[in-house]
Amino acid sequence: MDENVAHAARAGADIEAESLRIIDAEVPEPRPFAGAEWAVVRRMIHTTADFEMLQLTRFHPRAVEAGLAALARGALIVTDTEMAHAGIPERRMTPLGCRVRCLMRDPAVAELAREQGCTRARAAVDFAVADLSPDIYVIGNAPMALLRLLEHVAAGRARPALIVGMPVGFVNAAESKEELMAQNIVPYVGVRGRKGGSALAACVVNALAEIVLAGRKEEEEHGPASDHHHPRRG
């Protein structure tokens, strides 16, 4: 690695560590989230600089456990935007054997959208459900993609391990997330209201991946731990 690149990487890591320290200091214990859930929400605050994530974030009771297990076994992750795809780096996914795909530019999806007379976001969900059976869906931009996915879930056509549902905006964004959080079939991580976005949704996967990678590193150094990460509320 070039010396300048290495120095920049170290500087970036130092800034991130200091940012997380500040977040911890500004949200003293007892916190509304603990354990792995806090690791996720802290990453969400770091990504947005928005402490309202403390009030808006919602976890299904099995969300963290299901997400960690899916990533540990090499999940297929489908995102609704290229930005979310880019926000989940290979350096985290490759060691876990995970793959990340965005179907918005796929010619088959474009053709399906034309045939159905619908948006590519909706068609991408139909294609993913029929042909890929993703383990994790990451939706940060398209409410219609989330609503369509929930239709497939309700009909029994889709059973992902986890849905990260955080579409941002003013039209159907809040409503789609409320529908996500009203169902109890598939574990989810969601954000109430209008806030969300591709970067926010992607950072949830990154936070979970960091937990899995840290656990593997600890096992390599010290052997299997006697306990495991479980989601819990503080």
Query: What are the tens digits of pLDDT across the range 68-120?
Result: 999 999 999 999 999 999 999 999 999 999 999 999 999 999 999 999 999 99
pTM more than 0.85: yes
Q: Is residue 43 part of a domain?
A: no
- Return mean pLDDT, the chain: 92
Residue 163 Cα to chain centre, angstroms: 7
Q: Is residue 182 part of a domain?
A: yes
Residue 201 burial class via C-beta count within 10 angstroms: exposed 0-12, middle 13-18, buried 19 and up? buried
CATH, residue 108: 3.40.50.10230
Q: Is residue 202 part of a domain?
A: yes
Q: Is residue 162 part of a domain?
A: yes
pLDDT digits (tens, 9 = 90+) for 23-45: 999 999 899 999 999 999 999 99
In the chain, the amino acid numbered 75 is A
Q: Rounded to a whole number, what is the largest CA-CA distance in the chain? A: 56
pLDDT digits (tens, 9 = 90+) for 100-110: 999 999 999 99
Catalytic residue among 7, 46, 85, 152: 46
46 is catalytic: yes
Lowest mean pLDDT among 11-25, 124-138, 175-189, 198-212: 11-25
Helix 63-72 to helix 35-48 angle (10° resolution) is 80
**225 pLDDT more than 80:** no
Q: Is residue 115 part of a domain?
A: yes
Domain of residue 146: give its range: 55-223
Q: Is residue 148 part of a domain?
A: yes
- Residue 122: C-alpha distances to residues 81, 109, 127 (Å): 12, 9, 9
Q: What is the pLDDT of residue 188?
A: 98
Structural domains in the chain (count): 1
Q: What are phi and psi of 42, to 5 degrees?
A: -60, -40
Q: Is residue 188 part of a domain?
A: yes
Q: Is residue 17 part of a domain?
A: no
Contacts 24+ apart (CB under 8 A), 25-31: 26/51, 27/51, 27/54, 29/234, 30/234, 31/234
Three-state SS for 65? helix
Q: Which two tokens stand for residue 198?
A: 């591709």
Q: Where are the alpha helices (DSSP H) in the chain?
A: 3-26, 35-48, 53-56, 63-72, 82-86, 90-93, 107-116, 120-131, 143-154, 173-182, 198-222
